[in-house]
Chain A
Amino acid sequence: MAQAFRALIAAACLAGVVGSSPAAAVGTSQQSPSWAQLSPADRQVLAPLASEWDSFDPQRKQKWIGIANRYPMLAPVEQQRIQQQMSAWVHLTPEQRRIAREQYKTFRQLPPEQRQLVAQKWREYQQLPPEKRRELASHGAPRRP
């Protein structure tokens, strides 16, 4: 019985060690393809990331390959937006990406007409003089860390 308990404890430890490093499981070259190893279709979609691709970690590469796989299902205007913003997105800090994801989730929950209104407000905001936008930013709610 004592042996059995030892086996159970060892099994749980093994599960913890192996399970806590999922990155190791996806660390093969197949999971972390170089830019040259990507399919021509993926290279075309991910072209804005070409110069930085080989420095990405395997998980980041897999995410972008996943986005490239979704790409053909998007409308042309959405495809254009993705390609335009891809490079800016990878240059954000992890904290900025986290904030953007949170803000987007709030935005997504709005009804369509309110989302259109927010988009309209963004266009109006862009027309404001830079000093007015700076003033709004200085009085705006500080971003959570």
Chain B
Amino acid sequence: MNEHETAKKITGYLDHGTAGLKAGVAFRLQRARQLALSELSAQPEHAPRLALAGSGGGSFGPHRFLAATRLGIGALLLVGGVLAYNYWETAQQARDIEETDAAILSSELPIDAYLDPGFEAWLKHSEP
């Protein structure tokens, strides 16, 4: 049995089966077909819009607006993050210097001891 004969046999069975369909069933099948076709015809309207959003075309549809808004928010968050980090780093450096200077000034050694090269040599000289 070749393909053509098989197809002919299948369509014969289908025709035989549909011939006995009740009127209500046939109507529902027709409506389902129309609905499927109407949805199919609506799809091409979406497809070009999505394609344009990605290609940088001239259209400014809702998808493109949403993408631009998201990127705008992302850019603002980036700026905010960089500024916050910079501020924190500067403040941290200032705190470190403040803490060190307060500790130097209040330590048991006077400032001169940290700066006198003779004292450094004296310490090395007196090491056991």
Contact size class for A? 35 or more
Query: Within 8 Å of chain B (Cβ to Cβ): is A137?
Result: yes
- Cβ–Cβ contact B68 & A3, under 8 A: yes
The number of inter-chain residue pairs (CB within 8 angstroms) is 154
Closest to B100 in A: A101
Closest to A68 in B: B102
Asked if B2 is at the interface of the complex by the 8 Å CB criterion, the answer is no
With both beta carbons as reference points, the residue of chain A lying nearest to B123 in the complex is identified as: A121
Q: Does B94 contact A (CB under 8 A)?
A: yes
Main secondary structure of the interface of B (DSSP, over half): helix
Residue of A nearest to B113 (CB): A122
With A14-B79, A67-B102, A79-B106 already in contact, the answer to whether A140 and B115 are too (CB < 8 A) is no
Q: Given the complex, which residues of B lie within 8 Å of A14, measured CB to CB?
A: 79
Q: Which residues of B contact A (CB under 8 A)?
A: 54, 56, 67-68, 71-72, 74-76, 78-79, 82-83, 85-87, 90, 94-95, 97-98, 100-111, 113-126
